[in-house]
């Protein structure tokens, strides 16, 4: 069985971590993330590490969860998080205007989507049908990417629609002639 939950979370240089009441804040030039943890776990910052310990032995389930969230926060603040979407069909296309995404996906009108705060949209330099969504909060990036994908889900017959880069769409055979 893994014992990762016992390890302290190392804080890299330039990253600031602080604990006040039950709120952990991790800052870096990319941005700031906060996490309100449970009363069942005690979190403290010592010697360049974030240490989480359960208050009582029966609260050990929250210990591992809290440690994993804190580790992810430090990783996302330093490296960021990225999702890539690919659009498939001849007339479908993306446009990016500052923090607004404009989709031409077969409707009679263009679909405009405003990116949430802290999320950046960029077109791929080499492929014109790929868009990259980046940010420091995995939940915001993933939710915005899934909202974009929901506007035109990939269909199984021709494969047209919006999908994650590298996602495999199981194709179906169409009608067979008599």
154 by Cβ neighbours in 10 Å (0-12 / 13-18 / 19+) ranks as: buried
Report domain extents, the chain: 4-79, 81-164
Q: Kindly give, in sequence order, each residue whose CB lies less than 8 Å from that of residue 113, ignoring residues fewer than 6 positions away.
A: 100, 101, 102, 103, 144, 147, 148, 151
| Range 81-164 has CATH code 3.20.20.70 | no
Q: Quick one: tokens of 11? A: 């804080």
pLDDT tens across the length of the chain (178 residues) = 568 878 999 999 999 999 998 999 999 888 899 999 999 999 999 999 999 999 988 888 888 889 999 999 999 999 999 999 999 999 999 999 999 999 999 999 999 999 999 999 999 999 999 999 999 999 999 999 999 999 999 999 999 999 999 999 999 988 876 6
CATH match for 4-79 among 3.40.50.2300, 3.30.360.30, 3.40.50.1370, 3.90.930.12 = 3.90.930.12
CA atoms within 13 A on the CB side of 90: 1
């Amino acid at each position: 069985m893994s014992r990762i939950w016992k390890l302290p979370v190392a804080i890299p240089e330039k990253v600031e971590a602080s604990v006040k009441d039950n709120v952990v804040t991790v800052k870096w030039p990319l941005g700031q993330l906060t996490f309100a943890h449970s009363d069942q776990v005690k979190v403290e910052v010592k010697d360049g590490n974030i240490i989480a310990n359960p208050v009582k032995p029966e609260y050990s389930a929250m210990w591992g969860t809290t440690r994993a969230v804190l580790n992810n926060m430090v990783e996302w603040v330093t490296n960021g998080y990225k999702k890539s979407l690919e659009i498939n069909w001849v007339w479908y296309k993306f446009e990016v205007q500052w923090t607004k995404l404009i989709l031409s996906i077969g409707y009679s009108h263009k679909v405009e989507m405003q990116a949430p705060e802290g999320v950046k949209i960029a077109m791929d330099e080499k492929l014109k049908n790929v868009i990259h969504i980046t940010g420091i909060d995995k939940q915001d990036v993933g939710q915005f990417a899934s909202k974009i994908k929901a506007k035109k889900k990939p269909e199984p017959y021709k494969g047209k629609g919006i999908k994650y880069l590298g996602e495999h769409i199981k194709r179906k055979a169409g009608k067979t002639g008599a």
